Structure 1
């Protein structure tokens, strides 16, 4: 039996490309699909849009047009988000003509939204492009937005870092560190999903810009609650869906390319958490 909220979404958007009890996947433009939905449906959005750098899945825009486009769909997400909801937005770099070569997109976008910015999270990784005339980039940024700065979900315990230097250190007979671990801080060292015959990540799909499971694992557990509805309007390879289902959340995904939808379907059907399509 599908949850009332997912049933409502399906009733409005029609037959999805793929569905199971807790997941709806639609093949289409997310801006068109979101425009049809009523407000206050979504608890948390976790996504990474195209970076406007010429990847196979995007059309290059001027920087101003790109920022305006991002602002437009972020506002749509804001309207769909419940009062205590959040947006976790992963962004990279682009070139701004005559201004900068590797300009972090958050610097251009962070305040172009009605959301309230709680914090920037730095995702640091080892592998990446090797450069000769500049430092090799080894991070991307996640903007943690909320709708209400005084009322939002943050579950620290599930995402604590167990790597504590002195786990048994005490003060006045009491442990100084939480036995579950320490606060992971706002810099996360998580490996990228790599490719190649001898270095390909176990979770690798055919998608060219895949979220690592560990990153989305932390987003899902730390910034949503069981039975929440998680939206990914650029669902790509389906990592958000897999991690949402793994931890007992519902998920709605939009993807404009049918071949990427197929990657997500194959991934969900072959995962341990797959449930029979209803």
Structure 2
């Protein structure tokens, strides 16, 4: 296989970044996942090497993969790892942060974490996206929660990637409506807006998602695909500091990006490794079938 000079530069950039990090827990041609604390890992990476970061950190609610901290300590830790993302991000790069809710005894039952985190960074905030999903906690004394937030940050507000045509929603209500003889809507589809209706990864004997793994808080592939396709380019480097079950790397492999991830729990690294190796095998078989 031959590569263009631009592709060779991207490959060299990826290889240089992962060479600084040592031996990965799992590695493919386009991904490397490290069983490392993300702050330690990002501090070893070259500044400005990442084109997009998409991640969902622990929410500090006592899940099995986190140690619950006092709120101020959690916010200080968040500032530390977000600063490390900023240093690793290219001038034209973006940062997508998915966070949920916390309770503050005596003050709030479900406070959205973006209210506490949005301004704790040098990144420029473009907008908040509401992720609406169908399944979740059933409320009896409150409205059933059915959304989380994503914050879209950029390093340079005048220069960033936004591939709207790659993420347009084809479900247009009046696709043939015209004005002065011209179609009123884009023939590819409509802007998906800042409210995204994407199903959660569910569990349970009767409603478990096809993509479900043993990870208790798994990113939906449809959600990550939209971010990866819309806010990075082919052969860009995508970072996930909290890789979990590997969904970000799966999306990158499917969409022709490079992925670097960090994950503290070795069992989650193994889940990610299995998913990625199975995908690589499927992609190889598809390639063979097309030749």
For normalisation by structure 1, the TM-score amounts to 0.96
Q: CA deviation at 1:38?
A: 2.1
Unaligned runs of 5+ in 2: 1-7, 286-291
Match of 2:177 in 1: 169
**Shift, 1:274, TM fit:** 6.7
For residues 97 and 240 of structure 2, the distance between their equivalents in structure 1, rounded to whole angstroms, comes to: 10
- The residue number in structure 2 matching 1:114 is 122
Which among 128, 134, 148 is matched to residue 140 of structure 1?
Answer: 148
Which residue number corresponds to residue 247 of structure 1? 255
RMSD: 1.3
Per-residue deviation at 1:10?
Answer: 2.6
Q: Distance in 2 between matches of 1:193 and 1:245?
A: 20
Give 2:244's match in structure 1, choosing from 216, 229, 236.
236
Deviation for aligned residue 1:97? 2.6
C-alpha separation in 1, matches of 2:211 and 2:175: 32
Stretches (4+) displaced over 6 A: none
For 2:5, the equivalent position in structure 1 comes to: none
What is the correspondence of 1:1-278 to structure 2 with a 5 Å cutoff? 3-271=11-279, 272-273=282-283
Which structure's residues are more often helix, by fraction?
2
Separation in 2 of the partners of 1:15 and 1:5?
Answer: 17
Superposition deviation, residue 133 in structure 1: 1.2
Give deviations 1:2-46, integer Å, cap 9, x for gaps: 921222123211111111111011001111111112211100000
Give distance in 1, aligned partners of 2:14 and 2:232: 17
* 3-state DSSP of counterpart to 2:134: coil
State whether residues 18 and 45 of structure 2, in contact with CA within 8 Å, keep that contact through their aligned partners in structure 1.
Answer: no
2:260 aligned counterpart, secondary structure: strand
Q: Per-residue deviation at 1:204?
A: 0.6
